[in-house]
A = this chain, B = another copy of it.
Amino acid sequence: MIGNSRKPAQLRIKWLLNSTSDAWLEQAIAHPIEVLIDHAHCERKAAGVAIQMMFRYLCEPGLAEVLSPLAREELEHFERVLEILKSRGHYLEPLPAPPYGGVLAKNIRKQEPERMLDSFIVSGLIEARSHERMSLLAANSPDKELAVLYEELLESEARHFCLYWKLAEDRFEKSVVVSRLHELAAVEAKILSQLHPEPRMHS
């Protein structure tokens, strides 16, 4: 049991409404390969979402310049995780995704410009949660190669949260951004309040 011996995550991005449970950490540490495969999928999906957003808002000045390098970095991480998976005799086995991303996506409003704001915030929240969970894995994983991997990747997750925050803040009133961020952070925290039976980065 992790309980008393759990090492804390690095400073949590303050907008996340709850901390990850010990139960999640225990589950993740007990299934390192499954979480790693899931993480590879998270990185490629994050790249896909960034590119999709860039395609949707092509004429929006200042967007492609941020989202294209961000997508490149997600792909770089994807390749890095894939290398480790291969070195351990695994590949990109398909894993049923937990409800997390789907439920968050359903909370993106359909009309513009709310859709754009929500898209930035949802992507930012996912990055913030990944940052917190990678910090926990980096501090607590008994598998040293994986601890180092997560340690090296988590800084980017925090940086990506900031990029999405800035994309939102450059285009919307700060009070509007903060208020919607609170609402969506509550949704995010609620999804994670029950541990999903399958070990995933966002279970």
Contact = CB atoms under 8 A, between A and B. Distances in A.
B44 A94 contact: no
A8 interface: no
Interface of A: 44, 47-48, 51, 54-55, 58-59, 61, 64-65, 68-69, 71-72, 75-76, 78-79, 82, 91-94
B58 A48 contact: no
Contacts of A55: 44, 48
B82 A76 contact: no
24 contacts: A44-B51, A44-B54, A44-B55, A44-B68, A47-B71, A48-B51, A48-B55, A51-B51, A51-B75, A59-B92, A59-B94, A64-B78, A64-B82, A64-B92, A65-B79, A65-B82, A68-B75, A68-B79, A68-B82, A69-B79, A71-B75, A72-B72, A72-B75, A72-B76
